[in-house]
Amino acid sequence: MLEISALSARYGAVTALTDVSLSVENKQIVSLLGSNGAGKSTLLGCVTNSIPATKTGSITLDGEEISALPTDAIIARGLVLVPEGRQLFAELTVEENLRMGAYGLDRGRRWRSDLERVYALFPKLVERRQQIAATMSGGEQQMVAIGRAMMARPRIVLLDEPSLGLAPLLVREIFKLIEEINREGVTVLLVEQNARQALRIAHRAYVVEKGRITLSGSAERLMEEHNVVEAYLGEA
Amino acid sequence: MIPQLVVSGLALGSIYALLALSLVLINKATDVVNFAQGEMAMVGTFVCFTLLARTGLPLVIILVLAVPIGGLIGIVTERVTMRPLQSAPPINSLIATIGLWMVFHHGAGWIWGYDPVRFPSLFSPNPVNILGARVAENSLGIVGVSFLVVAVLYVFFEYTRAGIAMRAASMNRRAAQLMGVNIGRVSLTAWGLATAISVVSGLLVAPLTFLDFDIMFAVLLKAFAGAILGGFNSLVGAVVGCLVIGVIENLFAAYISASFKDTFAFAIIIAVLMVRPQGLFTRQIAKKV
């Protein structure tokens, strides 16, 4: 579904990604593992064309080249990013935040039924619908961020470190939600430092180090791979 | 005496408020402080003046036409001068607006001359009785027009798709972009809207003094003082701040010193920035990392 080949990216003279190739098949969960500064967020920024990096290489969605498209056109094709650190609209309510998620869609009233769908997915948000986003806990904010992405009716969701800064219990809950979204037919590209959890729910995974893909394969295989355990599972 | 001074102060303040709204609007949407906003309002007012002189259209029609005229000036300026600087640091855009200030200032002198011209007023200066106080019809008219503009702006930001997108973009530009908001269009809308509003303020102030290429300088100064008083990131704060400035200015001129009434705007800017830089009405929201 999403095909990245020979992608390189740099900020000015600083190289962030070198010759990265990665593919995400329809309806799968693919995890991208790597430590801080490995280039994970840059990769997602390149795919959504939302960062000021210079890039070369090809990014296709369902066979169509999207690397030169503006962000809004990419979203309209069903690819949505949940950015690192939630990035909610701090002074808007939960419901207004969710509604913004449907901004790129039609201008009609369809967002109301989408809203009900998102509330069904996140029942906890129903009673919080009028709460100002900034006053919520990290876990709740992450739910709003994912719910907001779901409002855009994505076919593929890119999640950037959804477990960052959350207590272990909440991390488990967030990962359960990701699996649920996937069961509903949404493809997921999951970027994580929390390798153990990310591998547990993924079909396949990639490891990125210093801007290069150094390891890839089925999640089970990577789970057994000695290097991965040593490099990433230790810190989780 | 005091009620009259307060009402005419509110009228002055609401003129400042329109220009302050323009400043805050562009700043919230694009992080640029547009120092040229007053001059753009002045140029728009001169265009309206020429239109009035050439066509003899009723003044109220000219006031309505000020909106598209201002919008066009804002949109063209954004496209020509701000768009190329989009990916440069914000300081570049800020300095560009100082350049724009000079271009519009001297361009207007070059086109329309340096002599003040009389600009007719929509409202008569005759007093009317309100709750026992005699206030000028003029003042009420100015407050009324400003109130109308603010009301339209409120509806735009609360209920329209473009307005909500602008609010979202001002809170979190990257997130708005990731929702499919076109950031370039947000900037264009902000400049168009802000300049339209500022030309209305120009049309309201022109009959009070005379129209010349210097007309908006003092207004811009007061608008800055009011906007800073309101915290510079709140539209409501800017309006309230400017109304306060207008009333204090009037009372100050009447009871203390008329010749220092412009200096006092500077004093307010400095005092607020020293004592309460977040403005009088803004809660300080802790930035989440």
Question: Each residue of A174-233: pLDDT tens digit?
Answer: 999 999 999 989 999 999 888 888 888 999 999 888 888 888 888 888 888 766 656 665
Beta A187-192 vs A29-33: how paired, if at all?
A: parallel
3-state secondary structure of B95: helix
Residue B83 pLDDT > 60: yes
Partner B contacted by A153 (CB < 8 A): no
Q: Which pLDDT value is given to residue A39?
A: 86
Q: What average pLDDT does the structure give for chain B?
A: 89
Q: Which pLDDT value is given to residue A229?
A: 59
Tell me whether residue A132 is in a domain.
no
Residues 6+ apart with CB under 8 A from B264: B248, B249, B252
3-state secondary structure of A27: coil
- How many structural domains are present in chain A? 1
Tell me whether residue A137 is in a domain.
no
Q: Which residues of B touch A133 (CB under 8 A)?
A: none
Tell me if B179 and A100 make a contact (CB, 8 A cut-off): yes
Residue B33 pLDDT > 50: yes
SS3 content of chain B, % helix, strand, coil (to 5): 70, 5, 25
Residue A108 pLDDT > 80: no
Residue of A nearest to B160 (CA): A107
Rounded mean pLDDT, B109-124? 91
- The residue range of the domain holding A201 is 2-87+154-233
- Interface contacts A/B by beta carbons within 8 Å: 69
Band of residue A107 on the pLDDT scale cut at 50, 70, 90: low
d(CA A106, CA A96): 17
The interface residues of chain A toward chain B in range 101-130, judged by CB-CB distance below 8 A, are 101, 103-105, 107
Residue A229 sits in a domain of what CATH number? 3.40.50.300
B201 and B15 in contact (C-beta within 8 Å)? yes
3-state secondary structure of A25: coil
Q: Which pLDDT value is given to residue B153?
A: 93
The predicted model scores a pTM of 0.83
Residues 6+ apart with CB under 8 A from A151: A98, A99, A100, A101, A102, A105, A111, A114, A115, A118
* Each residue's pLDDT tens digit, B242-278: 999 999 998 988 888 878 777 887 888 888 888 887 7
Q: Name the DSSP class of A230.
A: I
Q: Which residues of B touch A90 (CB under 8 A)?
A: 171-172, 285, 288
Q: Which pLDDT value is given to residue A159?
A: 93
Of A194, A21, A89, whose CA–CA distance to B175 is shortest? A89
Q: Give exposure, B225-257, as e/b (b: 16+ Cβ within 10 Å).
A: bbbbbbbbbbbebbbbbbbbbbbbbbebbbeee
The H or E element containing residue B131 is none
Helix ranges (DSSP H) in chain A: 40-47, 71-76, 94-101, 111-121, 138-150, 168-183, 195-201, 219-224, 226-228
Tell me whether residue A72 is in a domain.
yes
A50 to chain B nearest CA, in Å?
7
Residue B146 pLDDT > 60: yes
Phi, psi of A157 (to 5 degrees): -110, 135
Q: What average pLDDT does the structure give for chain A?
A: 87
* Listed range (A133-137, A232-236, B111-115, B170-174) with the worst mean pLDDT: A232-236
Residue A128 pLDDT > 80: yes
Residue B41 pLDDT > 90: yes
Q: ipTM value of the model?
A: 0.83
* Each residue's pLDDT tens digit, A7-58: 888 888 888 888 989 999 999 999 998 888 888 889 999 999 888 888 899 9
Q: Which pLDDT value is given to residue A226?
A: 61
Tell me whether residue A73 is in a domain.
yes
Tell me whether residue A55 is in a domain.
yes
Identity (one letter) of the amino acid at A33? L
